[in-house]
Structure 1
Amino acid sequence: MSQSVSAAPDAGHSGGRGHHRPAMPALALAALGVVYGDIGTSPLYTLQTVFNPVNGLSLNALNVVGIVSLIVWSLIIVVSLKYVTLILRANNHGEGGIMALLALAASSVSARPRLRRTLLGIGIMGAALFYGDSVITPAISVLSAVEGLEVAAPFLKTCVIPVTLVALVTLFLMQKHGTAGIGIVFGPVMVLWFIVLAVAGVVNMMRAPAILVALNPLTGLAFCLHHRWLAFVALGAVVLSLTGAEALYADMGHFGAKPIRLTWFGLVFPALALNYLGQGALLLADPGALQNPFYKLFPQWALYPMIVLSTVATVIASQAVISGTYSMTKQAMQLGFLPRMNVVYTSEREMGQIYVPGINWTLLAAVVAAVVGFGSSTALGSAYGIAVTGTMLITTILTFFVIRYAWHYNWFLCVFATGFFFLIDAAFFSANLLKLMEGGWFPLLVGLIIYTIMATWGRGWEMMRAEARVRAGTTPLKPYLATLLKESPIRCGGTAIFLSPDPDGVPHSLINNLMHNRVLHKRVVFVTVNNEEIPWVPASERVSVHPLDSECYQVTITYGFMDEVDLPRALEVCRAYGLSFEPAETSYFLSRATLVPTRDSGMAMWRERLFSVMLHNVGNVAAYLKLPANRVIELGARVEI
């Protein structure tokens, strides 16, 4: 009778974060440097975009006060109430972000397969829109900062695009070196940034104290009732003040909810509100400042220092989004929604600091295309909102299923809590759909391409695994092994590790090896790698060992979607149970599938061909599992889907 053993990894290979959290002040400072870069740089372009003549909203006192009121109360309702108060509670074992939320929502309705598939489709679309956001954010942030050159010296207008491109290319070239070195200065720079925002806002509020009327929520409501259609159109630009709200949730796993809440209410929100009020007061006193209301807040002597500080702040904002894209890509790979890609760990201490070369260069190409194609931050503003509001809307939908089916809250409370935010998100999203032809098509196109890739890979990979399990399950492992050992096959030295999708079935690679080589290794290990819909698998549950007969073993290794996948390192824990692996004597046998698209499957033929191309050209199992290249043996198999 076989016995199951749960092996605990050694301390150095912990399945979790493997380090203690710093003290609260250090966490709060780090959160300022990473979490708030995007939303913190929104004042650079929001009001200028709202009053863009193409939106049809005239610049007068009532409109300025009404728009500022909408911005301030949007920050209160959407960011403070929705994200900081509610969404931060919907964590997946401490992790946040659209993929973590999707995994949590999907697992909460696992007993309803049809609903689960629907949620997976919705969540994948949210993740795809996040990629669109990741293209627009670096482009609009850095471009809006460099546009300050036009204000300081109009003759430098022709330098804006080249300088922006140099800054962005340099940023993406630096990614392979990691962010550990420059991350130390991010926090203090953002502290200075928010203090400057607040001071500039207060100074300019003195020029027109009447702007304080915007703090009354009825002011924004009266603006909407008076203008109706124009107010609805304006919402498409007002939402730019909320860009980066998703980062509050996505970066929760790095810092925890408390530091994010502390820094939001203690510094970020007051600074943003004061700056928007200051810009509003400036426009009341000097309508000509609409050329660039942010930079017009400052005296002439301060323009060049502010251009430098703004550019640094926008680079920090871009870095946060780029790093978040790497993390989400890794999570999507672990959950089976993206092909395996090369992931480089840029820090020996922080496993969250990663670099994905394929994503990096694809993002750079798309960002450069956005800067050159749109040419200004105002034009990019039209493209920005759809990706942001689409992701926000999907986050709200997924949150409903979490609080209803995972937390089991009262149905009425769930509908009321999320329905209120759903209506607001839907209004913002609908307003941005009006900008579809003005640039909104761009993030939608990016999202559609990514969605097609993720949905096709997810469905194809699911079908591949199902087919592999069927092929393995047709021959149960234990009876097959007992019959094989009775025939006393020739056994050679060393250890053979056969990867199997089903721990109870015979892996195809074993059958192929016996067919071609007619030998069985002295020690045979059947390894199954599972990925769970949780971020971190506890160290004590990472590896389980089942001894079989005659030096044969079953080993199951389980990873979460935030864990680093490293099969040889995971197998080291088996040493405590007499199952040690000498690298020079261990061979890994994998099945290399040759995909044969057929018309009798669950996908259209073009999707099957797309999946086949991705399967054979993007990554490989050996690299994903970090297997030594000179110890891997791949045996071919034809698979029809």
Structure 2
Amino acid sequence: MKKKNNVSRQAALSIGALGVVFGDIGTSPLYALKACFSGHHAIALTSANVLGVLSLIIWSLLVVISLKYVTFVMAADNKGEGGIFALYELVSQNKSGRSVSVMLIATLIGGALLYGDGVITPAISVLSAIEGLDIATTLAHGYITHISCAILLILFTFQSSGTDKIGRLFGPVMFVWFIVIGAFGALSMLNNIVVLEAFSPLHAVRFFAENGIAGTLVLGAVVLCVTGGEALFADMGHFGRRPITLAWYFVALPSLLLNYLGQGALLINNPKLIVNPFFSLFPKTILLPIVGLATLAAIIASQAIISGAFSLTAQAVHLGFIPRIRIFQTSELNPGQVYVGSVNWIMAALSIFLVISFKHSEELAGAYGIAITGTMVITTYLFWFYLRNIRKWNVVPAAILISFFACFDLGFFIVNFTKIDGGGWFPILLASIVAYIMYVWLWGREEVYDHVMERGLHITDLESEIEKYILAKIPGEAVFLAASDYIPHAFLQHLRRNRVVPEKLIFLQVKTLNEPYVDSGQRIFVKRLKNNVSWMTVSYGFMEKPNVPVSVFQAWNQIGIRKEECNYYVGRVFIKYDEERTDHKIKRKLFIFLSSISDNPVDYFKIPEELVVTIGTGVKL
């Protein structure tokens, strides 16, 4: 019975993974093959070229997705959690100095590129689905961009309500989608089974030999078939490695292969159908329902990447890569479901801007490739450190495997730079802005921290400092939030100016560890000092939402302090621009602006405002 329940659970998780994990890669047939023959660097639509492109698509799916991500990269989980930030936290634990700095920069760039993916995916997925209306009816001609923008606006508007209810439909809808595209792809393939020869890599080799540079440039469009590869890794914590693997090999991969082969057979028989080979697979009598299904699939693909951007933002906040911003829980049962309003509306505006600017999916495909391939390259780079430092592989086998993956990743990445003028500039610009903001925030925090710590005091010197300034002890209990292992500057200001100390004093330091979740039994550590003074450390994983009062209450039950008599003392650093400094002017101004919009730590730690006393410190930067 237990085994049967486990099988049912694995099946349910696999169906769920189809909706969340494979939404992006599952909608790639809408535009991938079409972009190879009608994009910026299109090639002649001959039978030999169709077989060559099909071979490239087949082997890209098998090597990049099946071998790299499903077999190897998904094994590099951080206690069940995946994604580029989780992988960085895992591999940086045993490194120091320059190696960590390079890894950090690469990770920031990779995270920034994922935001580009999050903006482009909704635009290209929805636009390519709605373009099917042009084949189904002439009435929609001229209104494709309007309809696409309206759908995107509705999609982003409903983000704040969460994905709990609609999320239950994602898996079954995508299961139907994969079955439908696979079935009609197979029917088309039967009309010209010569496309099965594309499984031979010799067609890919012959394609490059016959087309030269033009053939190489087509890789910039071929890469669109592996969009969503990072999603397999990033969403692993939601479903687990096994359900994702089962969904890929038994549903997603066969359906994608059959559909691409079916489109190829169609183009060999009738090259004029390149206008939209995907929708040409279906009889006109059912085309409108297929467009509706494609639109649903595109929305699901968009929803998955938007939710991923919210999760990415939450991780970045917890890791200190960006300022604290307001993050809302949209589900009481699933802590991973969050909503970030500022990120949502920025992405909405940019996605709609892309649809209006590019107007056609094949034009937008040029902007898509760089965001995908850049992240793929960085994941491969970080995976090298995983093999060497975590798995303890020898240099030779690790170098062989990484070099093999890098041939695909770098090939796709380099070729995509030829599309900068065709839209590739957008993800580069967006990623540059986001990565620079992350870098400036890390730099500024270090600058301010060093400034404040110059006046810091170690815990061992606390007793002598109190004796030096104290005039009296007052009744009550106080919690001072500490940002480091030093006595918080807020307490030193309080002591030196007011000359009083509460009867019971707790210094509380909140740490974000380089693991996704912390066991409740290991979350709290309390060190009792002299004279009713305690140092308390509360640890959270980077996927968790800090709730300081709950953790403090649990600790206070152990040491006999009553919750209702507590006051929280929070230090706030007020930064003023130093006119006398001549260095780093732009960075200093940007950091001050970011600090001004940073969310209040009281809200971030869920501390009731009526219990908070704020003590400010002025710093010139």
TM range (shorter): over 0.9
User: How many matched pairs?
Assistant: 616
Equivalent position amino acid for 1:88 in 2? M
Find out whether 1:88 has 2:74 as its counterpart: yes
Aligned CA distance change for structure 1 residues 332 and 80 (closer, same or farther; 3 Å) = same
Specify which of 1, 9, 12 is matched with residue 26 of structure 1.
12
Contact 2:40 2:363 in 1 (8 A): no
Letter in 2 for 1:68: L
Cα deviations by residue, 1:283-304 (Å, 9 ceiling, x for unpaired)? 1111111110000000001111
**TM alignment of 1:366-405, pairs within 5 A:** 366-405=350-389
Q: Does 1:425 align with 2:425?
A: no
The amino acid across from 1:138 in the alignment is P
Which residue of 100, 111, 119 maps to 2:103? 119
Provide structure 2 residue ranges, at least 5 long, that are not aligned to the other structure.
1-5
Name the counterpart of 2:216.
Answer: 232
Whether the aligned pair in 1 keeps the contact of 2:466 and 2:495 (CA below 8 Å) is: no
Correspondence for 1:496 among 478, 493, 508 = 478
TM-superposed CA distance for 1:482, in Å, is 4.8
Question: C-alpha separation between the residues in 2 aligned to 1:633 and 1:407?
Answer: 48
The within-5 A match list for 1:210-225 is: 210-225=194-209
> In the alignment, residue 321 of structure 2 is paired with which amino acid?
F
d(CA) in 2 for partners of 1:317, 1:510: 50
SS for the counterpart of 1:636 is: strand
Residue matched to 1:414:
398
Q: Partner residue of 1:539?
A: 520
Q: Is the 8 A contact 2:21 2:304 kept in 1?
A: yes
1:353 — aligned with what? 337
How far apart are the structure 2 equivalents of 1:268 and 1:601?
58
- Report what 1:14 is aligned to: none
Q: Tell me if 1:59 matches 2:45.
A: yes
* Per-residue CA distance 1:310-335 (angstroms, 9 max, x = gap): 01111110111011111111111111
1:563 corresponding residue in structure 2: 544
1:507 equivalent to 2:488? Answer yes
Change in Cα spacing, 1:47 to 1:405, as seen in structure 2 (3 Å) is same
**2:60 matched residue in structure 1:** 74
Specify which of 542, 553, 556 is matched with residue 572 of structure 1: 553
> What is the aligned partner in structure 1 of residue 613 from structure 2?
633
What is the alpha-carbon distance in structure 2 between the residues aligned to residue 360 and residue 353 of structure 1?
14
Q: Give per-residue Cα distances to partners, 1:410-449, cap 9 Å, x unaligned.
A: 0111111111111110010111100001100001111011
Partner of 2:3: none
The aligned counterpart of 1:362 is: 346
- Percent identity of equivalent pairs: 39
Moved more, 273-282 or 418-427: 418-427
Match of 1:162 among 110, 121, 146: 146
CA contact (8 A) 1:469 1:502 kept: no
Alpha-carbon RMSD: 1.9
Indicate conservation of the 8 Å contact 1:92/1:101, yes or no: yes
Contact kept? 2:35, 2:42, Cα under 8 Å: no
| Amino acid corresponding to residue 78 of structure 2 in structure 1 | N
Mark the CA change 1:216 to 1:602 in structure 2 (over 3 Å): closer, same or farther: farther
**Paired letter, 2:523:** R
Partner of 1:3: none
Q: Does 1:526 align with 2:507?
A: yes
Q: Give the secondary structure class of the aligned counterpart of 1:336.
A: coil
Cα distance in 1, alignment partners of residues 245 and 39 from structure 2: 37
CA–CA separation in structure 2 for the residues paired with 1:592 and 1:609 = 18
Partner of 1:327: 311
**Deviating more after overlay: 624-633 vs 415-424:** 624-633
Structure 2 counterpart of 1:609, from 582, 589, 608: 589
Deviation, 1:383, is: 0.4
Letter in 2 for 1:36: F
1:276 aligns with 2:276: no
Q: 1:624 aligns with which of 594, 604, 608?
A: 604
Deviation at 1:21, TM superposition (A): 12
Q: Distance in 2 between matches of 1:333 and 1:463?
A: 18
Structure 2 equivalent of residue 11 of structure 1: none
The whole-number CA distance in structure 1 between the counterparts of 2:141 and 2:406 is: 41
Q: Call closer, same or farther: CA 1:557–1:22 in 2, change over 3 Å.
A: farther
Given residue 619 of structure 1, which amino acid in structure 2 is its aligned partner?
Answer: D
Q: Mark the CA change 1:261 to 1:355 in structure 2 (over 3 Å): closer, same or farther.
A: same
Deviations 1:447-476 (A, max 9, x none): 01100111111222233334334422xx33
Residue pair 1:465, 1:501 contacting (<8 A) in 2 also = no
Seen in structure 2, the aligned counterparts of structure 1 residues 75 and 528 have a Cα distance that, compared at 3 Å, is: same
Instruction: Work out whether 1:548 is the aligned partner of 2:529.
Output: yes
How far off its partner does 1:600 sit? Answer: 10
Give the match's secondary structure for 1:434: helix
Q: CA deviation at 1:516?
A: 4.0
Q: Which amino acid aligns with 1:497?
A: V
Distance 1:481 1:53 in 2: 72
1:153 corresponding residue in structure 2: 137
Of 446, 458, 479, which residue of structure 2 is paired with 1:476?
A: 458
Contact 2:173 2:297 in 1 (8 A): yes
Change (3 A) 1:113 1:598: farther
Question: Residue by residue, what CA displacement relative to the aligned partner does 1:465-524 show, whole Å, maximum 9, x if unpaired?
Answer: 34334422xx33343335525876333333211111233x33211122234444322321
* Contact 1:51/1:58 (<8 A) preserved: yes
CA contact (8 A) 2:39 2:362 kept: no
TM-score (norm 2): 0.96
Secondary structure of residue in 2 paired with 1:337: coil
Q: Distance in 2 between matches of 1:60 and 1:428?
A: 23
Is the 2:40–2:366 contact (alpha carbons within 8 Å) kept by the matching residues of 1? no
> 1:565-617: per-residue Cα shift (whole Å, max 9, x none)?
1111121211331344424x322112211224559999722111111110122
CA distance in 2 between counterparts of 1:459 and 1:319 reads 33
Contact 1:597 1:605 in 2 (8 A): no
Aligned ranges 1:578-597 → 2 under 5 Å: 578-583=559-564, 585-597=565-577
Q: Secondary structure at the match of 2:479?
A: strand
Tell me, what secondary structure is at the counterpart of 1:107? coil
Of 299-308 and 164-173, deviating more is 164-173
